[in-house]
Amino acid sequence: MKYQQKGFTLVEIAIVLVIIGLLMGGVLKGQELINSAKVKNLANDFRSMSSFVYAYQDRFRALPGDDAAVANHVTGGIAATTPAATLANARINGAWNSATQTDESYLFWQHVRLAGLATGTPVIGNAEYIYRNADGGAVGITGDAILTAPSTPWAANFYICSTGIQGRFARQLDTMLDDGNTQTGTVRVIANGAATQADATLLAPGAQDQAQFTVCSGF
């Protein structure tokens, strides 16, 4: 009676393991590419917004949001009335994440969109009015200080902040755009969704990788 072999040979098992290894390597490499693209997308938000400011200023000799003559510059433009007595002071006042529809920092988006510099709806109060980053976090701008008691100076003409960013991506952003230290330089990290903070948060690899933070860059 002829013996019928059952199960897999060592060669067959080795082939299966190689295939599994190749698949896992492909998945990990794919995820790495996705993450890299996301960080580049987040970085582009900072670059694009700063270019909006400079282009608007070059065209109208005023800052978007702070423009007292915006109605004359772009059709439908609304001049800010808050924060009080700050209009046309050459700074975009108001919290970067302000929801006050009369704030300069809130009206920034309307001004740059009506000027044709940025895409998106210029309709105040619209659910899509506030720009969102690749992770769905709000992105905003302000000329007011983000840090109230920084351990190292952080002066800038304006600050752009992007929220809902995982710690691992925040560190990559800082490395890509600045000095790799989230507590110093032009790029700094604060608590997720915070308007201001005493000092920036130092992120180290590990437990903070999955937590969400707000990344701000000074210009």
How far is it, in rounded angstroms, from Cα 61 to Cα 183?
A: 33
Q: What DSSP character marks residue 159?
A: E
Q: What distances in angstroms separate CA 3 from CA 6, 9, 40, 202, one per listed residue? A: 9, 15, 61, 67
135 lies in some domain: yes
CA dihedral 168, 170, 174, 177 (to 10 degrees): 110
Amino acid type, 4: Q
Mean pLDDT of 133-143: 96
Quick one: DSSP state of residue 161? E
Query: What 8-state DSSP symbol labels residue 178?
Result: S
Distance from C-alpha of 174 to C-alpha of 28, rounded to nearest angstrom: 23
- pLDDT tens across 52-77, in order? 999 999 999 999 999 999 999 999 99
pLDDT category of residue 14 using cuts at 50, 70 and 90? confident
Q: Per mean pLDDT, which range of 4-13, 142-151, 154-163, 201-210 is the poorest?
A: 4-13
Does 59 fall in a domain?
Answer: yes
Res. 30 pLDDT band, cuts 50 70 90: low
| pLDDT score for 56 | 98
Q: Residue 101: what pLDDT?
A: 98
Instruction: Please determine, for residue 32, whether its predicted confidence score (pLDDT) is greater than 70.
Output: no
Count of domains in the chain?
1
Q: How far apart are the first and last CA of the chain?
A: 85
DSSP string over 71-92: HHHSTT-----BSTT-TTSSS-
Is residue 62 in some structural domain? yes
pLDDT at 190 over 80: yes
Averaged confidence pLDDT in the chain: 92
* DSSP helix/strand/coil, 171: helix
pLDDT, residue 37, reads 81
Q: Work out whether strand 187-191 and strand 139-142 pair parallel, antiparallel, or are unpaired.
A: unpaired
Buried b (16+ CB within 10 A) or exposed e, 74-103: beebbbbebbeebbeeebbbbbbbbeeeeb
Q: Please indicate, yes or no, if residue 19 is contained in any of the structural domains.
A: no
Among 14-18, 75-79, 178-182, the minimum mean pLDDT is found in 14-18
State the residue range of the domain holding 170: 42-218
Measured between alpha carbons, how far is 31 from 136 in angstroms, rounded to an integer? 19
> For the ranges 38-42, 117-121, 196-200, which has the lowest average pLDDT?
38-42
Other CB atoms within a 10 A radius of the CB of residue 210 amount to: 9
Does residue 23 fall inside a structural domain?
A: no
Q: Of residues 7 and 219, which shows the higher confidence score?
A: 219
Do the domain assignments include residue 157? yes
Would residue 37 count as lying in a domain? no
Average pLDDT over residues 76-98: 98
H/E element holding 139? strand 139-142
Least confident of 11-15, 167-171, 201-205: 11-15
Question: Average of pLDDT values for 102-122?
Answer: 98
Mean pLDDT for 8-15 is: 71
In a domain, 195, yes or no: yes
